[in-house]
Amino acid sequence: MRPKISVNTINAAFNKLLDNRTLLLDATASGNLRVLISLLGPAYRGLIQQRGKSESATDIKLNSPAHFDWHYKREHPEMKRLTEIAKISQWNATTDIDWLQEVDFFDPSKPLLIEEFHPASTLPIWSKLTFEERAAQIRLLLSWLLSQFLHGEQGALFAAAQTTQSVPWLDAKLYGSTQVVDEGRHVEVFHTYLTKKLEKLYEINDNLYVVIDALMSDSRWDVKFLGMQIMIEGLALGAFGTIRQISGEPLLKELLRYVITDEARHVHYGVLALQQFYTTELSEKERRNREDWAFEMSLLLRNRFLMHELYDEFYAHHLSRAAWDKLVLKSKMMNSFRKTMFKRIIPNLKRIGLLSNRIRSHYEKIGLLAFENSKAAPELSVTELLDN
Ligand SMILES: [Fe+2]
Ligand SMILES: [Fe+2]
């Protein structure tokens, strides 16, 4: 059921608008009115109504066509090859991962994350905490991060199902069917680790809700694809890789290795499909619209995951929200995530034709153009992904 509108709701909405004024400014950065309008509905539902938090389940209305192909032509050999790789790379989240191994949260030789990754680790209050208290804070930080991954994976599961029905080519549909299974498995592993090991599940972050709602409710299959396969998956690959590298917890490292191998295929598939579509089938006006949309998404992903849920729970008495936001944005963790995620996203945008001279200066202004010559997904092997 939707929340009722009352004076309190309006007050809360007003405060939320003030809290999110940078988001509103971000949303006008490309100057593309159509892009801004397409984000207004998701922003209203995510930031004002807080649908991801105020309800235990949310129905998002869909408006995308199911495209049937009666000729069954196999015309995309690279996607066909990727489908074969996906078929032999399947794994079972229940039996291939050793869930019986204990996670010791207080073993300094196997830290969940390095302490400097916690945005609060530079605050004076951090040095007054005992080792056990600091370990507990790190455990909560990891719970927050993995909870957002879990919510993102649920979005990826539905987006994979929707793009499978809408994409025009049979080889893409067959590949998509393997991705649906992969994403279901990712929901399973993150949920199991969160509930059985970390024993804490956080609600969805408001801004992540906005991104997911925008992808679900957009009727254009390629925009769902762009958002999910290039942007969100690029972000996920970056974050999974960083966490796997800095964590000393064997079970977490093991499950991330499996997930990263699947995600690398998904990004590769997204690049193949969109490269074909954007370079051969879109008008220049439509291409520009996608380019602006991708830029707005880059801004959302770059600035908006500020862990307010952790702030409200533990740090609201120690510093203002504005000071917390600054702390998170310049934290070691955020710097590292930003670097690894855009190192993949920006070259992939270039490959699919969404980094024209018109938009490059926008990316340059926010410091992301430096990544344009990094290796894009298809050239990056899984071994490299696991190593960097
Ligand atoms: Fe996934
Ligand atoms: Fe994926």
Query: Which amino acid, one-letter code, is at 6?
Result: S
Residue 3 has what pLDDT?
A: 46
Residue 22 has what pLDDT?
A: 55
**Degrees, nearest 5: CA angle 246-251-255:** 85
Distance 266 CA to ligand 1 centre (A): 8
Q: Which of 302, 316, 214, 327 is nearest to 22 (CA)?
A: 302
Distance 262 CA to ligand 2 centre (A): 7
Residue 383 has what pLDDT?
A: 54
Please count the residues of the chain: 388
> Alpha-carbon distance 328 to 321, whole Å?
10
Distance 160 CA to ligand 1 centre (A): 10
> Alpha-carbon distance 299 to 294, whole Å?
9
Distance 244 CA to ligand 1 centre (A): 15
User: What is the maximal distance between C-alpha atoms in the chain?
Assistant: 68
> Alpha-carbon distance 49 to 10, whole Å?
10
Task: For domain 7-387, give the CATH number.
Answer: 1.10.620.20
Q: What pTM was estimated for this model as a whole?
A: 0.88
pLDDT in tens, the chain (388 residues): 444 545 555 455 555 555 555 555 555 565 666 667 777 788 888 887 888 887 889 998 888 889 998 999 999 999 999 999 999 999 999 999 999 999 999 999 999 999 999 999 999 999 999 999 999 999 999 999 999 999 999 999 999 999 999 999 999 999 999 999 999 999 999 999 999 999 999 999 888 898 899 889 888 999 998 998 888 888 888 889 989 999 999 999 999 999 999 998 998 999 999 998 998 888 999 999 999 999 988 888 876 678 888 999 899 988 999 999 999 989 998 888 888 888 888 999 999 999 999 999 988 888 788 777 776 655 455 555 555 4
Instruction: Tell me which ligand sits closest to the C-alpha of residue 270.
Output: 2
Q: Which two tokens stand for residue 325?
A: 């936001």
Distance 183 CA to ligand 1 centre (A): 5
Distance 152 CA to ligand 2 centre (A): 9
Distance 104 CA to ligand 1 centre (A): 26
Which ranges of 89-202 would DSSP assign to H, the alpha helix? 124-127, 131-166, 170-192
Residue 115 has what pLDDT?
A: 93
Residue 152 has what pLDDT?
A: 93
Residue 1 has what pLDDT?
A: 47
Distance 223 CA to ligand 1 centre (A): 18
